[in-house]
Structures are given as structure tokens and as C-alpha cells.
Amino acid sequence: MSNLQKTGKIILNPFEDPLDEDLKKDKIMFSIQEPEFDMSSYVGRFMSFRKICNPFIAFYSNGKIKDMQKLLEDQKEAEEEQFNFKGDYKLPMSEDEILKLKIARTVVRTAIHPDTGEFIPWPMRMSSFIVCNLPISYGMIITAPTPMNTIIWQGINQTYNASVNYGNRNASGKTSIQDIGKSYAVAMTASISVSLIIRKVIAMKVGNVKGAKGIIYNSISAFFAVSTAGFINAYLMRLKELDTGIDIYEPDHPEIVVGKSKAAAE
């Protein structure tokens, strides 16, 4: 049954009386198609990114995520009907309903690739990033700062970063195996080189430190190595998109591609 009845009232519950205005009390006008944060500002983009990196949403089963995806699809369908009838996507909803939709939107966003519609492998999801990085960070900071340990842990870290960048790539721009291999090789070389150089400099200045000071110096070395390599890795992985642009879509019909844009890729 359509959500729009002859009365023109929106029925979120089929047992509600569309003529009963009291049912609209304590409802909030809400649309799932409006971004939760101001994406035109740095703070808004930061808050959005922080939300999808929440490790507490990393452990939903694929079946549960599919249910959330269906919930969002049903909501969008109802909003489309509302827009066609009144020219506004917003529907009256309770706070609990809105919270449920916001959680579903965040979980689906981090678990299902927006271009392919397929599940992103669990370790590559942004919600899994903190969980997967805990043992890697431990290895880089706590293990003895020998050249071999440095090479092993920086190699593991950059392998993981490359997989995350690939899993969350913009799939509308084709990235070749050569591009991926180049990004991986350069990032690996940069991270190992920077880490080894910094640790060599630290050793020359302060000697073979151990204990709490050793952990601090390991942290400094790992930070600069990971930051440098992370920038190079992300830049090279996205370089193809910057050169050719990414697909842009019709605002009211996101399934329709209207062209490619380099500005959007930037």
C-alpha cells in the first residue's frame, strides 16, 4: 500500500488514523537524504568521518546490515512519494525512528560500497580501522627498534593502509593493478626509509634508550613514518581519479550519471 492516501496524509503506521492530528504531536520533520553534518565545512567533514570510524558499529552481521539497507530503501521510497506530493522530502517521525535511521545510514555507509553496492571486506571498512590498527600500532611502538622490526611492522602497516584505500576507492574511476602496485611500492619505501632514518638520528643523539623513553622515541619515529607514507599512499591511490575525474549524478536521481568532474575528485 502506498504511504500516500487520498487524504494527502503521511502514514508511517498503517493502523494510524490519517485524520488524527494528535498523532503528529512530538514528531520531528526528517529526511534521510539530508546530510547529518555540514559537508561544506572542515568541522562537518571531520565529524562525518569520525562517525564512520566508530569501532562499535563494526560488528554488525552482513544479514543485519542488509536489513538496515532495506530500511533505508523503504524510507527513501516513502520520501520520494512525499516529495512528488508536497515538494518536500521530510516526513514526521519520532526521535527513536530518526535515531534508528541515522544508525542504519552510518553502518551501511561504512559496510557497503556506494558505487558497486557490494560489501566492503570487513578489515577494509573504516569502522574496522581502529580495531585492526591496534595490534599494528603495538608492534610499531612496543617491539624493539631494530631495523628488521622496523621493516616488518612498517610493511604490515602499509599493506593494510593500501587495502583500506583500495576497498574505499571511488569505483567510478578505473584503477589499474599497475597504479595500485606503484602506490603500494612507493608508500612502503617511504615509510621504511623515513622510519629507519629517524631511528638512526635518535640513536645518534640519545644512544640506545630503553623503557618509557624508548617507547616515546618509537612513537615519534612511527608517527612520522606512518604520516609520510599514509599521505603518499592515499595520494597515489587517488591520482587516477584526480586525472580523469569521478562520476557525478543527477541530484534527484542518484542512479543517473551526468558526467565526470575533476573538481569533485579534488
pLDDT of the chain, 266 residues: tens digit per residue: 444 443 443 444 443 444 345 555 678 899 998 888 888 899 999 999 999 999 999 999 999 999 999 999 999 999 988 888 888 888 899 899 999 999 999 999 999 998 888 999 999 999 999 999 999 988 887 887 788 888 898 889 888 888 888 888 777 666 667 777 777 787 788 778 877 887 777 767 665 666 677 677 777 777 777 777 777 767 766 666 666 666 666 666 555 666 666 666 55
Determine the angle formed by the axes of helices 177-206 and 147-167, rounding to 10 degrees: 150
Dig out the grid coordinates for 148 from the structure.
628488521
- The enclosing H or E element of 208 equals none
Q: Which of 193, 18, 32 is nearest to 106 (CA)?
A: 32
For the chain, domain boundaries = 21-112, 128-246
**pTM for this entry:** 0.72
Burial 94-132 (b: 16+ CB within 10 A, else e): eeebeeebeebbbbbbbbbbeeeeeebeeebbbbbbeeb
